[in-house]
Amino acid sequence: MTDLLQQLINGLALGSIYALIALGYTMVYGVLRFINFAHGDVFMLGAFAGYYLAEPVAKVIPPQTYLGGIVVLLLAMLICALLGVVIEFLAYRPLRKRPKLTVLITAIGVSLFIEYTCQHEKVFGASPRKFPDLIPNTTWELGGLVVGSAQVIVLVTTILLMIALTLIVQRTKIGTAMRAVAFNPQAAALMGVNVNHVISFTFGLGSALAAAGGILFAMNYASIDPLMGVQTGLKAFVAAVLGGIGNLPGAALGGLLLGVVETFAGGMKGISNYRDAIAFGILILILMFKPSGLLGKQQTEKV
Amino acid sequence: MLEIKDLKVSYGAINALRGISLTVNKGEIVTLIGANGAGKSTTLRAISGLIKAESGSVTYEGKSIFNQPAHKIVSQGLSQVPEGRMVFANLTVLENLKMGAYLRNDKAAIAQEMDYVFNIFPRLKERVKQQAGTLSGGEQQMLAIGRALMSKPRFLMLDEPSLGIAPLLVKTIFEKIVEINRQQGITILLVEQNANRALEISQRGYVLESGAIILQDDSAKLRVNDQVRKAYLGG
CA–CA separation, A51 and A49 (whole Å): 5
The model's pLDDT over A260-274, given as tens digits with 9 standing for 90+, comes to: 999 988 888 888 888
Q: CA–CA separation, A280 vs A242, rounded Å? A: 10
A97: CB partners within 8 A, 6+ apart: none
Measure the CA–CA gap between A10 and A147, rounded to whole angstroms: 9
Which of B80, B85, B95, B101 has its CA nearest to residue B32? B80
Contact B147/A at CB under 8 A: yes
Inter-chain contact B137–A180, Cβ cutoff 8 Å? Answer: no
Helix residue spans in chain B (DSSP H): 40-48, 70-74, 93-100, 107-120, 122-126, 137-149, 167-184, 195-201, 219-224, 226-232
- B131, B78, B90, B135: which is closest to A178 by C-alpha? B90
pLDDT computed for residue A268 by the predictor: 82
For residue A301, the model assigns a pLDDT of 40
ipTM at complex level? 0.93
Q: What is the mean pLDDT of chain B?
A: 93
Burial class of residue B96, CB neighbours in 10 A (0-12, 13-18, 19+): buried
Task: Indicate the domain borders of chain A.
Answer: 2-236
CATH of domain B2-232: 3.40.50.300
pLDDT of residue A298: 61
DSSP state of A88: I
Q: How far, rounded to the nearest angstrom, does the alpha carbon of residue B228 sit from its chain's CA centroid?
A: 21
Report the relative pairing of strands B204-209 and B29-34 from DSSP bridges.
parallel
Instruction: Among B74, B80, B99, select the one facing A180 at the smallest CB separation.
Output: B99
Contact A189 B133 (CB under 8 A): no
Residue-wise pLDDT tens digits, A146-184: 899 999 999 999 999 999 999 999 999 999 999 999 999
Nearest CB neighbour to A192, from listed B91, B103, B140: B103
Tell me whether B42 touches chain A (CB under 8 Å): no
Residue by residue, pLDDT tens for chain B (235 residues) are 999 999 999 988 888 999 999 999 999 999 999 888 899 999 999 999 999 999 999 999 999 999 999 999 999 999 999 999 999 999 999 999 999 999 999 999 999 999 999 999 999 999 999 999 999 999 999 999 999 999 999 999 999 999 988 888 999 999 999 999 999 999 999 999 889 899 999 999 999 999 999 999 999 999 998 888 888 877 6
What is each CA distance from B70 to A14, B49, B79, B87, B98, in whole angstroms? Answer: 44, 4, 10, 17, 18
Tens digits of pLDDT across chain A (303 residues) = 788 899 999 999 999 999 999 999 999 999 999 999 999 999 999 999 999 999 999 999 998 999 999 999 999 999 999 999 999 999 999 999 899 999 999 999 999 999 999 999 999 999 999 999 999 989 998 888 889 999 999 999 999 999 999 999 999 999 999 999 999 999 999 999 999 999 999 999 999 999 999 999 999 998 999 999 999 999 999 999 999 999 999 999 999 999 999 998 888 888 888 888 887 888 788 888 888 888 887 654 433
Half-sphere exposure of A176 (CA within 13 A, CB side): 19
Residue B128 near chain A (CB below 8 Å): no
Specify the pLDDT at position A3: 85
Task: Report the 10 Å Cβ neighbour count for B180.
Answer: 23
Q: What would the pLDDT profile of B179-189 be if each residue is shown by its tens digit?
A: 999 999 999 99
Smallest Cβ distance to B74: which of A173, A192, A195?
A192
Q: A273-289: per-residue pLDDT in tens?
A: 888 888 788 878 888 88
| Nearest-angstrom CA–CA distance, A165 and A107 | 24
How would you label B205-234 residue by residue, b for 16+ Cβ within 10 Å and e otherwise? Answer: bbbbbebebebbbebeebbebeebeebbbe
Distance, CA of A154 to CA of A148 (rounded, Å): 10
Give the burial class of A82: count Cβ atoms within 10 A of its Cβ; 0-12 exposed, 13-18 middle, 19 or more buried: middle
Q: Is-contact A32 A26, C-beta < 8 A?
A: no
Look up residue A251 and give its DSSP letter: H
Q: Give the amino acid at A150.
A: A
Q: Taking a contact as any Cβ pair under 8 Å apart, which residues of chain B between 163 and 202 contact chain A?
A: 164
